[in-house]
């Protein structure tokens, strides 16, 4: 009897012991990223091949969404991530301004264009992602210009990523809004044309390729990768220019594991990391890494000049204005 | 826990009468353990939640309530919750009652196969139901494309609406009403029906004036249960409502928490209490309505002679199987076809069909691989633990009936009766900071999900176990007691073997429910502790429907296989333990 009693009494203890063992694992790295689900998991897998001792935990969401989660964590005094891998430099600048990013002076930026990384070396662009117009091959119209989308043929047929979720979309919003030829009027016209804003570029791709909405504002690599796989989708880089983001990586000043965070940055900037981006269908920032098959060497793409400082100042206001106009 | 054990042991060292010393301590220890588990799983989380609302941080304050009440989003979501709650309930009650009457009172053939199929939607996770139905409509539907009748580009999927949510809630919970009304119809007094018919009343009149009034308690009971389920449902409004920006309370809580993290806990705690109050109001209303009249059925009689349908029989049978086609076969076919599509918008044919979505989620995607492992372990652990607790607990409730065992029973029911979101928020509040004394952090680990599963699903093992105890003759256990067997000994050699089949069936129900659970894990998961439900949800949110469909197909297949396999247990079980068995 005493024997069985002892066993009963010990069971919860053994259970608790098991808990502590699993809680105190090897080295962990907390990553917040806006990469699409499948790409993020591939990136981590490849990183772990180079750094087998590091257990990567990941939170994945849209850049704007990650920023609000981070703001809440800063307010609570407990920021979780060691390293950020998100869509655009403006979001990084916002964090840098508040002293949330740590500089990594020793990072190897050889072969990267100087404008791709921060002069203070707090964040490092990893690729070039532009936003253009995607349409279903079964669609009636073939859009060529940003202004086409406000036409009556597109009424109720257009989908765009919400800037409240996506960093690339937030960058585009403020970039366009600051331009006299487009301005806020452009988005007001999109709204009167019954355009809907959805959670992220992935949702836009699905909507356009499946035909729920035949036209969409979308990042290049998603549309062109899907096209390569056989999806009925076409992509246009409007000749008046496309906004481009750099998907930068950065270490937080509050990182609990700065050593591992640096290793992650090293990996993203390494040749292996840049080749991985290429194999995922992105245009890597390091030119020697090569170009994706959807981008021929003679292709002419005009990057729209956008003043990052101006965007930085107005992005929060623009987002809240957008939220009121489109209702979330 | 260890404290109470040592205290009991030392008290038995004090000289006491001999038989007391031999028999009671082990029973006390076990009773203490069982009560402690119930308190930890059921009472503590609810107390913690109430404390957060009325006295956050230990000081009385109405700030959280005021902030919640003054936010217009709260009222919109509450209104939406009520709309889909009532809409879904009405649809489920009409649908479930009609089918129950058709199956129970007429001479249709193929009943058990029909019941098995009809009850299956209840065993499929709501988010999988939603995903499957979504594949049936809209320009992207692989089924419509295959048939060449897909609507033109730009057509909106009609399910992304309040009506869509109500429709699917009706389909999901119609079987629940069916089961309860069918159980009631089995007790329908034959002589009343025959008296009515002999008196010249038509079948319709008998149905209207005899059968339906007698079924009122079952229908009201079912309505309350379905209402609570509809209001607390997360999977269906998450898949159909979020894209349409039609938020109900559970999805509002999810979005707030996903965007704001622990900082908004106080705010969402208020919202979760609001759902709890709406759900409780449903249960109280049921209680009041069923007390207004006395519906007792005095006799137990033979089952009612089935109404002969004559030449309509074929028609009715065809209609029944058409229903199965609509609510089960077609959606699952849509889900299956979507799981074979190689990429967005690519038309499906024998040439393009691929299994690569399956191999991706099984072998390549790290979070999905994690999720299969986590969900399996979580549901097996929850099932085993619940069975181990349910047997002694059921014993006290069924055979040692006293006021405190009744309280215990109600306490275990509470976390299941309340919407899952309520429990998830309570668990977050409890474990956000490390557990005091042992300084253990289970927030952001898989253990917090296990805790919530145990609390929520324990009653699924307890209910069948209690009904099992009620059907077993107690004399064997009493004989062993007289012969001097201690409580643990009796539990091990007599009580457990006798109720094992029911307890195991209960464990099986838990396993199937927990395997693709979403409501609780959507709020509690973290990186590394993904569950299958969460992975399906994130794939769908990111636009990867084909991956979501592939995982869903695997869970549906597993569920169906388990349902069929469990029928082998059926010989040892009381009626009604396995809902899908007629």
| Chain A residue with the nearest C-alpha to that of B157 | A212
CB spacing of A212 vs B138 below 8 angstroms: yes
Phi and psi of A304, rounded to 5°? Answer: -70, 125
Is residue B133 one of the residues assigned to a domain?
yes
Domain ranges of chain A: 24-126+247-289, 128-244+301-326
For residue range B383-437, what is the model confidence (pLDDT) as tens digits? 999 999 999 888 888 887 778 778 888 888 888 888 899 999 999 988 888 888 8
pLDDT band at B10 (very low <50, low <70, confident <90, very high): very low
Q: Could you give the CA distance from residue A82 to residue A249 in angstroms, rounded to a whole number?
A: 11
Q: How far does the CA of residue B454 sit from the closest CA of chain A (Å)?
A: 15
The predicted pLDDT at position A9 comes to 42
The predicted pLDDT at position A12 comes to 43
Is residue B139 one of the residues assigned to a domain?
yes
pLDDT band at A251 (very low <50, low <70, confident <90, very high): very high
Query: Of all residues in chain B, what percent carry a pLDDT higher than 70?
Result: 93
Is residue B177 one of the residues assigned to a domain?
yes
Residues B407 and B308 in one domain: no
Is the pLDDT reported for residue A4 higher than 50? no
Q: How far does the CA of residue A113 sit from the closest CA of chain B (Å)?
A: 32
Q: Where are the alpha helices (DSSP H) in B419-491?
A: 420-431, 446-471, 475-482, 487-490
Per-state percent for chain B, helix, strand, coil, to nearest 5: 75, 0, 25
Q: Could you give the CA distance from residue B365 to residue B344 in angstroms, rounded to a whole number?
A: 18
Instruction: Answer positive or negative: Cα dihedral of B519, B521, B527, B531.
Output: negative
Domain boundary among B296, B324, B353: B353
Per-state percent for chain A, helix, strand, coil, to nearest 5: 45, 20, 35
Instruction: Give me the residue label for tokens 């990867």.
Output: B544
Q: Which of residues 130-159 of A touch B (CB under 8 A)?
A: 136, 138-139, 156-157
The predicted pLDDT at position B162 comes to 95
Q: Could you give the CA distance from residue B96 to residue B104 in angstroms, rounded to a whole number?
A: 12
pLDDT band at B147 (very low <50, low <70, confident <90, very high): confident
C-alpha distances in angstroms, A314 versus A199, A308, A309, B339?
22, 10, 9, 43
CATH number at residue B454: 1.10.3720.10
The yes/no answer to whether this complex scores an ipTM above 0.85 is no
Residues of A in contact with B33 (CB under 8 A): 8
Residues B340 and B468 in one domain: no
Per DSSP, the three-state class of A54 is coil
Residues of A in contact with B261 (CB under 8 A): 69, 72-73, 76
CB spacing of B488 vs A200 below 8 angstroms: no
Two domains, one topology: A24-126+247-289 and A128-244+301-326: yes
Across A139-158, average pLDDT: 93
Q: Could you give the CA distance from residue A283 to residue A295 in angstroms, rounded to a whole number?
A: 8
Range with the lowest mean pLDDT among B148-157, B288-297, B438-447, B478-487? B288-297
The predicted pLDDT at position B12 comes to 42
Is the pLDDT reported for residue A13 higher than 60? no
The predicted pLDDT at position A11 comes to 42
- Of A320 and B557, which is predicted with more confidence? B557
Q: How many domains would you assign to chain B?
A: 2
CB spacing of B346 vs A199 below 8 angstroms: no
| Burial grade of A23 (CB within 10 A; 0-12, 13-18, 19 or more) | middle
Q: How far does the CA of residue A214 sit from the closest CA of chain B (Å)?
A: 6
Crossing angle for the helix pair A258-269 and A37-50, to the nearest 10 degrees: 110
Is the pLDDT reported for residue A103 higher than 50? yes
CB spacing of B157 vs A136 below 8 angstroms: no
C-alpha distances in angstroms, B288 versus A294, B285, B294, B406?
68, 5, 12, 21
The predicted pLDDT at position B11 comes to 41
Is residue B34 one of the residues assigned to a domain?
no
Is the pLDDT reported for residue B169 higher than 60? yes
| Domain containing residue B472 | 355-582
The predicted pLDDT at position A328 comes to 52
pLDDT band at B294 (very low <50, low <70, confident <90, very high): low
Phi and psi of B532, rounded to 5°? Answer: -60, -45
Residues B295 and B396 in one domain: no
Residues B347 and B373 in one domain: no
- C-alpha B341 chain-centroid distance: 31
Residue by residue, DSSP assigns A228-280 as: HHT-SEEEE--TT-B-EE--EEEEETT-S-HHHHHHHHHHHHSHHHHHHHHHT
Q: Could you give the CA distance from residue B368 to residue B353 in angstroms, rounded to a whole number?
A: 22
Residues B368 and B284 in one domain: no
pLDDT band at B333 (very low <50, low <70, confident <90, very high): very high
Across B74-100, average pLDDT: 95
CB spacing of A23 vs B441 below 8 angstroms: yes
CATH superfamily for A128-244+301-326 is Periplasmic binding protein-like II (3.40.190.10)
Q: Which H/E stretch holds residue B214?
A: helix B212-232
Q: What is the mean pLDDT of chain B?
A: 85
Instruction: Answer yes or no: are the C-beta atoms of B297 and B189 closer than 8 Å.
Output: yes
Is the pLDDT reported for residue B1 higher than 80? no
Q: How many helices (H) and strands (E) does chain A have?
A: 11, 13
pLDDT band at B297 (very low <50, low <70, confident <90, very high): low
Range with the lowest mean pLDDT among A23-27, A94-98, A217-221, B476-480? A23-27
CB spacing of A57 vs B528 below 8 angstroms: yes
Q: Does A77 lie at the interface with B, CB-CB under 8 angstroms? A: no
Is residue B53 one of the residues assigned to a domain?
no
Burial B94-131 (b: 16+ CB within 10 A, else e): ebbbebbbbbbbbebeeeeebbbbbbbbbbbbbbbbbb
Across A8-20, average pLDDT: 41
- Tally C-beta pairs within 8 A across A and B: 150
The predicted pLDDT at position B24 comes to 63
Is the pLDDT reported for residue A20 higher than 80? no
Across A62-67, average pLDDT: 88
The predicted pLDDT at position B243 comes to 82
Residue by residue, DSSP assigns B303-337 as: PPPPBP-GGGHHHHHHHHHHHHIIIIIHHHHHHHH
Q: How far does the CA of residue B366 sit from the closest CA of chain A (Å)?
A: 6
Residues B236 and B367 in one domain: no
Across B453-474, average pLDDT: 87
Crossing angle for the helix pair B249-260 and B265-292, to the nearest 10 degrees: 170
Instruction: Answer yes or no: are the C-beta atoms of A131 and A172 closer than 8 Å.
Output: yes
Domain boundary among B324, B353, B382: B353
The strand pairing partners of A56, in sequence order, are A29
The predicted pLDDT at position A22 comes to 42
Q: Check residue B312 and give left, alpha or beta (phi > 0: left; psi -120 to 50: alpha).
A: alpha
Across B567-582, average pLDDT: 75
Per DSSP, the three-state class of B79 is helix
Among A206, A208, A319, the strongest candidate for a mutation testing the B interface, having the largest count of B CBs within 10 A, is A206
pLDDT band at B301 (very low <50, low <70, confident <90, very high): low
| Chain A residue with the nearest C-alpha to that of B537 | A37
Is the pLDDT reported for residue A177 higher than 60? yes
Residues B250 and B274 in one domain: yes
Of B153, B526, B543, the CB nearest to A206: B543
Q: How far does the CA of residue B440 sit from the closest CA of chain A (Å)?
A: 7
Residues B165 and B270 in one domain: yes
| Chain B residue with the nearest C-alpha to that of A162 | B243
pLDDT band at A26 (very low <50, low <70, confident <90, very high): low
For residue range B371-386, what is the model confidence (pLDDT) as tens digits? 999 999 999 999 999 9
The predicted pLDDT at position A24 comes to 42
CB spacing of B261 vs A72 below 8 angstroms: yes
Across B200-211, average pLDDT: 88
Residues B275 and B417 in one domain: no
Residues B274 and B343 in one domain: yes
Q: Which of residues 206-235 of A touch B (CB under 8 A)?
A: 206-214, 226, 229-233
Of A1, A205, A206, the CB nearest to B26: A1
Token output for A62: 């849209």
For A24-126+247-289, CATH number out of 3.50.50.100, 3.40.190.10, 1.10.260.40, 3.40.50.880 equals: 3.40.190.10
The predicted pLDDT at position B14 comes to 43
Across B71-82, average pLDDT: 92
Is residue B469 one of the residues assigned to a domain?
yes
Instruction: Answer yes or no: are the C-beta atoms of B579 and B567 closer than 8 Å.
Output: no
The predicted pLDDT at position B139 comes to 83
The predicted pLDDT at position B19 comes to 45
Most confidently predicted of A239-248, B153-162, B503-512: A239-248
pLDDT band at B62 (very low <50, low <70, confident <90, very high): confident
Phi and psi of B176, rounded to 5°? Answer: -65, -45
Q: How far does the CA of residue A114 sit from the closest CA of chain B (Å)?
A: 33
Find the angle CA(B513)-CA(B516)-CA(B522) to the nearest 5 degrees.
Answer: 110
Across A181-203, average pLDDT: 91
Token output for B245: 């920006």
Among B26, B153, B526, the strongest candidate for a mutation testing the A interface, having the largest count of A CBs within 10 A, is B153
Token output for B574: 């009381």
Residues B379 and B251 in one domain: no
pLDDT band at A21 (very low <50, low <70, confident <90, very high): very low
Q: Could you give the CA distance from residue B385 to residue B452 in angstroms, rounded to a whole number?
A: 13
The predicted pLDDT at position A19 comes to 41
The predicted pLDDT at position A6 comes to 39
Residues B441 and B465 in one domain: yes
Q: How far does the CA of residue B528 sit from the closest CA of chain A (Å)?
A: 7
Q: Does A61 lie at the interface with B, CB-CB under 8 angstroms? A: yes
- Cα radius of gyration rounded to whole Å, chain B: 25
CB spacing of B153 vs A157 below 8 angstroms: yes
Burial A151-188 (b: 16+ CB within 10 A, else e): eeebeebbbbbbbbbbbbbbbbbbbbbbbeebeeebbe
The strand pairing partners of A235, in sequence order, are A134
The predicted pLDDT at position B259 comes to 67
Q: How far does the CA of residue B194 sit from the closest CA of chain A (Å)?
A: 57
Token output for B370: 């994690």
For residue range B514-537, what is the model confidence (pLDDT) as tens digits? 999 999 999 998 777 889 999 999
- Of B298 and A210, which is predicted with more confidence? A210
CB spacing of A72 vs B263 below 8 angstroms: yes
Range with the lowest mean pLDDT among B18-32, B460-474, B517-531? B18-32
Across B144-170, average pLDDT: 89
Is residue B491 one of the residues assigned to a domain?
yes
Is residue B43 one of the residues assigned to a domain?
no
Crossing angle for the helix pair B162-186 and B126-134, to the nearest 10 degrees: 130
- Of B479 and B9, which is predicted with more confidence? B479
């Amino acid at each position: 009897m005493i024997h069985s009693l002892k066993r009963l009494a010990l069971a919860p203890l053994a259970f608790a012991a098991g808990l502590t063992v699993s809680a105190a694992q090897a080295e962990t790295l907390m990553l917040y990223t806006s990469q699409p689900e499948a790409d993020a998991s591939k990136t981590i897998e490849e990183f772990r091949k180079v750094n087998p001792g590091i257990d990567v935990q990941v939170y994945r969401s849209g850049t704007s969404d990650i920023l609000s989660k981070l703001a809440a964590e800063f307010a609570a005094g407990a920021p979780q991530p060691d390293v950020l891998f998100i869509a655009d430099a403006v979001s990084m600048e916002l964090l840098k301004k508040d002293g949330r990013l740590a500089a990594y002076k020793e990072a190897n930026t050889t072969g990267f264009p100087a404008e791709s990384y921060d002069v203070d070396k707090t964040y490092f662009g990893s690729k070039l992602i532009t936003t253009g117009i995607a349409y279903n091959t079964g669609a009636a119209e073939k859009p060529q210009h940003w202004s086409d989308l406000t036409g009556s043929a597109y009424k109720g047929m257009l989908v765009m990523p919400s800037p409240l979720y996506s960093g690339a979309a937030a960058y585009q919003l403020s970039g366009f809004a600051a331009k006299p030829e487009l301005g806020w009027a452009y988005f007001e016209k999109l709204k009167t044309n019954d355009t809907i804003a959805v959670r992220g570029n992935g949702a836009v791709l699905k909507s356009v390729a499946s035909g729920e909405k035949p036209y969409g504002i979308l990042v290049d690599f998603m549309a062109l990768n899907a096209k390569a796989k056989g999806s009925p989708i076409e992509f246009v880089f409007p000749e008046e220019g496309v906004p481009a983001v750099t998907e930068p990586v950065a270490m937080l000043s509050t990182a609990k594991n700065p050593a591992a965070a640096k290793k992650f940055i090293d990996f993203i900037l390494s040749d292996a990391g840049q080749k991985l981006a290429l194999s995922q269908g992105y245009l890597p920032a390091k030119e020697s890494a090569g170009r994706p098959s959807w981008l021929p060497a003679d292709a002419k793409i005009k990057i729209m000049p956008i003043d990052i400082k101006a965007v930085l100042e107005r992005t929060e206001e623009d987002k809240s204005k957008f939220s009121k106009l489109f209702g979330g | 826990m260890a404290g109470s054990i040592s205290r009991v042991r030392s008290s038995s060292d004090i000289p006491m009468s001999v038989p007391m010393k031999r028999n009671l301590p082990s029973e006390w220890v076990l009773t203490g353990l069982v009560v402690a588990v119930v308190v930890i799983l059921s009472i503590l989380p609810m107390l913690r939640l109430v404390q957060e609302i009325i006295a956050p941080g230990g000081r009385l304050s109405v700030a959280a309530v005021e902030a919640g009440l003054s936010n217009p989003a709260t009222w919109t979501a509450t209104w939406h919750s009520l709309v889909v709650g009532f809409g879904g309930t009405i649809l489920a009650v009409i649908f479930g009652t009609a089918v129950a009457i058709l199956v129970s009172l007429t001479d249709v053939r193929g009943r058990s196969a029909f019941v098995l199929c009809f009850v299956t939607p209840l065993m499929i996770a709501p988010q999988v139901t939603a995903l499957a139905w979504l594949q049936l409509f809209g320009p992207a539907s692989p089924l419509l494309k295959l048939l060449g009748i897909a609507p033109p580009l730009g057509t909106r999927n009609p399910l992304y609406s309040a009506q869509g949510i109500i429709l699917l809630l009706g389909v999901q919970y119609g079987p629940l009403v069916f089961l309860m009304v069918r159980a009631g119809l089995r007790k329908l007094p034959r002589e009343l029906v025959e008296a009515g018919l002999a008196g010249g009343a038509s079948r319709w009149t008998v149905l209207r004036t005899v059968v339906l009034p007698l079924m009122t308690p079952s229908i009201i009971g079912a309505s309350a249960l379905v209402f609570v389920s509809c209001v607390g449902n997360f999977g269906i409004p998450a898949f159909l409502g979020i894209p349409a920006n039609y938020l109900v309370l559970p999805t509002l809580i999810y979005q707030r928490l996903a965007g704001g993290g622990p900082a908004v806990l106080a705010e969402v705690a208020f919202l979760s209490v609001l759902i709890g109050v709406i759900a409780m109001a449903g249960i109280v209303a049921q209680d009041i309505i069923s007390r207004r009249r006395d519906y007792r059925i005095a006799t137990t009689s033979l089952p009612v002679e089935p109404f002969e349908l004559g030449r309509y029989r074929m028609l009715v049978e065809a209609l029944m199987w058409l229903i199965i086609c609509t609510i089960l076969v077609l959606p699952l076919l849509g889900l299956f076809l979507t799981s074979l599509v190689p990429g967005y918008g690519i038309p499906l044919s024998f040439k393009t069909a691929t299994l690569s979505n399956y191999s991706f989620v099984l072998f390549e995607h790290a979070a999905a691989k994690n999720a299969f492992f986590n969900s399996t372990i979580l549901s097996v652990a929850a099932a085993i633990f619940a069975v181990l607790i349910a047997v002694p607990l059921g014993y006290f409730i069924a055979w040692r009936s006293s006021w405190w065992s009744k309280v215990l029973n109600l306490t275990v029911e509470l976390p299941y009766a309340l919407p899952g979101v309520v429990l998830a928020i309570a668990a977050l509040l409890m474990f956000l900071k490390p557990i005091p004394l042992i300084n253990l952090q289970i927030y952001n680990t898989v253990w917090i999900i296990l805790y919530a599963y145990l609390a929520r699903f324990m009653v699924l093992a307890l209910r069948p176990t209690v009904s099992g105890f009620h059907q077993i003759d107690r004399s064997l256990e009493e004989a062993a007691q007289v012969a001097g067997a201690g409580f643990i000994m009796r539990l091990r050699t007599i009580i457990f073997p006798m109720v094992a089949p029911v307890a195991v069936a209960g464990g099986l129900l838990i396993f199937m429910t927990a395997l693709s659970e979403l409501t609780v894990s959507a709020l509690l998961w973290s990186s590394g502790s993904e569950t299958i439900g969460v992975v399906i949800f994130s794939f769908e949110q990111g636009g990867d429907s084909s991956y979501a469909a592939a995982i869903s197909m695997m869970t549906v297949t597993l569920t169906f296989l388990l349902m069929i396999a469990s029928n082998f247990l059926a010989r040892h079980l009381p009626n009604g333990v396995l809902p899908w068995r007629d």
